[in-house]
Amino acid sequence: MPITAEKATTPVGDCSPLGEPFSIGSLLSCIMSSSDLRVALIGSTGYTALEVARLLLTHPSAELVIATSRQDEGKPLSEIHPMLAGRCDVTLQPLDADVIAKSADVAMCCLPHGASAESVKQLAGAGMRVIDFSADFRLSSLETYEHWYGVKHPWPERIGNVVYGMPEFFADEIRSADIVANPGCYPTSAIMPLAPLVKAGLIETEDIIVDSKSGVSGAGRSPKLGTLYCETNESISAYAVGTHRHAPEIADLVERIAGAAIEVMFTPHLTPMDRGILSTIYVKPAGKAGSVEDAVRAMMSLLRDTYADQPCVHVVDHLPATKYVAGTNQVQISVRPSGKRAVIVCAIDNLTKGASGAAVQNMNVMFGLPETAGLLM
């Protein structure tokens, strides 16, 4: 179970201890504090950091108060991200966990793996609640992490002891967590449809094929040869075939949610668009479900029942597309028969539900706010 942070015991806006009446003063204090959730952005130069800042601009109960950058200290965040000009005047500062803990309630850590874990450890040690965007705390096995990421983990005792930031399955744990491991973008598009179907025994757990295509923003903002305009424009390419680090995350989380191990073949592709992920997943219906058409109807019914009360997940009759979810925190899922298999199609925006939107959703759950606050649905 995740460690419970003392700062988590009172949701934002709940200013009176249980059983004690409100005074006028405490009521006014509560009204003021209910819109005063203070957010620190750790590692502020990438696309996910920009998306967090953009979402917080319109959040009714939270604001960005601190942004850090080691290489751009002293610059305004709007100089790094001109989209924020005139709307966000936060000045970039170095990471000092004790200083940040005095000025913010929650930290969103947008650092790369390895470097992120050390910073998360410092922030949590200073009493901060942290949402970590890296893969440093997503996996349940230290051995698996160090094999796939090729580094020694700086806080190994927390591997397998941090809640995965998918409120659709782990909301109760997220509410009291000191650290939340924000999901990977590709895994979100695979876990959402697969986990309920595996748990219900509607699909075979072997020979699952996940074919995913992502916009170029998924590769990050740092310049790389493979993401230059002339390399990506008018082209689509597979990469990291058989070696992508999100494959073990998909398998690990489906097993945690569904209680059954899966065999998954995951292949990512880079497509010439800014944002979005479309995953096409090929599965075999399990048992004696009758025709594939009957199996698909059962899958659609099960998915609709699973997500009926989840505001961010929509099981749809049309085929999902990245354009339908762009800029939103939506997940769109549909299933079709094809020969002896069922084909699941799932679309998300990699920068929102695949990263920053999920982080805001997790923050809302952690602090007792409406789950979709600040998110475009």
In this predicted structure, the answer to whether residue 40 has a pLDDT above a threshold of 70 is yes
Q: Is residue 330 helix, strand or coil?
A: coil
Mean pLDDT of 160-186: 98
Q: Which has the minimum average pLDDT: 38-52, 128-142, 228-242?
A: 228-242
* pLDDT band, very low/low/confident/very high, at 35 (cuts 50, 70, 90): low
Mean pLDDT of 322-334: 98
In this structure, CATH architecture of domain 185-348: 2-Layer Sandwich (3.30)
Confidence at residue 224, expressed as pLDDT on a 0 to 100 scale = 84
Q: Are 321 and 346 in contact (CB under 8 A)?
A: no
Confidence at residue 20, expressed as pLDDT on a 0 to 100 scale = 40
Percent of the chain residues topping a pLDDT of 90: 83
Tell me the C-alpha distance between 375 and 353, whole Å.
Answer: 10
Mean pLDDT of 239-245: 92
Q: Is the pTM of this model over 0.85?
A: yes
Confidence at residue 355, expressed as pLDDT on a 0 to 100 scale = 98
* pLDDT band, very low/low/confident/very high, at 36 (cuts 50, 70, 90): confident
* The CATH number, out of the four listed (3.40.50.300, 1.10.3430.10, 3.30.450.20, 3.40.50.720), of the domain defined by the range 37-182+356-367: 3.40.50.720
In this predicted structure, the answer to whether residue 365 has a pLDDT above a threshold of 70 is yes
Q: How far apart are the first and last CA of the chain?
A: 31
pLDDT in tens, 298-327: 999 999 999 999 999 999 999 999 999 999
Token duo for residue 49: 């950091």
Residue 64 CB-half CA count within 13 A: 29
Residues 6+ apart with CB under 8 A from 88: 53, 57, 64, 77, 78
In this predicted structure, the answer to whether residue 142 has a pLDDT above a threshold of 50 is yes
DSSP letter, residue 339: T
Mean pLDDT of 112-132: 96
pLDDT in tens, 251-291: 999 999 999 999 999 999 999 999 999 999 999 999 876 79
In this predicted structure, the answer to whether residue 295 has a pLDDT above a threshold of 60 is yes
Distances (CA, A) of 193 to 173, 185, 187, 313: 21, 14, 10, 10
> Which is higher by pLDDT, 243 or 219?
243
For 65, the enclosing helix (H) or strand (E) is strand 62-68
Mean pLDDT in the chain? Answer: 91
The residues spanned by each domain of the chain are 37-182+356-367, 185-348
Residues 6+ apart with CB under 8 A from 21: none
Residues tagged active-site: 185
Confidence at residue 114, expressed as pLDDT on a 0 to 100 scale = 87
**In 245-322, at which residue ranges do the beta strands (DSSP E only) sit?**
264-270, 277-283, 313-315
Q: 156: closest CA among 172, 143, 169?
A: 143
Q: Is residue 222 helix, strand or coil?
A: coil
Mean pLDDT of 209-235: 90
Residues 6+ apart with CB under 8 A from 184: 135, 138, 246, 249, 354
Q: Is residue 179 helix, strand or coil?
A: strand
Q: Is residue 224 helix, strand or coil?
A: coil
Q: Are 329 and 353 in contact (CB under 8 A)?
A: yes
Q: Are 327 and 352 in contact (CB under 8 A)?
A: yes
Confidence at residue 289, expressed as pLDDT on a 0 to 100 scale = 62
How many Cβ atoms sit within 10 Å of the Cβ of residue 334?
A: 21
Confidence at residue 19, expressed as pLDDT on a 0 to 100 scale = 39
In this predicted structure, the answer to whether residue 90 has a pLDDT above a threshold of 90 is yes
pLDDT in tens, 62-77: 999 999 998 899 999 9
Mean pLDDT of 190-207: 97
Q: Which amino acid is at 345?
A: V
